Amino acid sequence: MHSLDAKDIRILAILQKEGRIPMTELAERVGLSTTPCARRVAQMEKSGVISGYGARINAAQVGLTLTVFVFVELAEQSTRAVEDFTRQISAFDEVIECHLMSGSRDILLRIVARDLTAYDRFLERHMMQVSGIRSMTTSFALRPLVQRDTLPLT
User: What tens digit of pLDDT does each residue of 35-75 get?
Assistant: 999 999 999 999 999 999 988 899 999 999 999 999 999 99
Angle at 144 between CA 143 and CA 147, to 5 degrees: 165
User: What tens digit of pLDDT does each residue of 122-151 get?
Assistant: 999 999 999 999 999 999 999 999 998 889
* Residue 20 DSSP one-character state: T
Instruction: Write down the pLDDT at residue 2.
Output: 66
Q: Give the pTM.
A: 0.85
Closest CA to 44 of 130, 153, 118: 153
- Whole-angstrom Cα distance, residue 88 to residue 49? 28
DSSP labels for 100-150?
E-SSS--EEEEEEESSHHHHHHHHHHTGGG-TTEEEEEEEE----SS--SS
Burial of 139: CB neighbours in 10 Å, binned 0-12, 13-18, 19+ = exposed
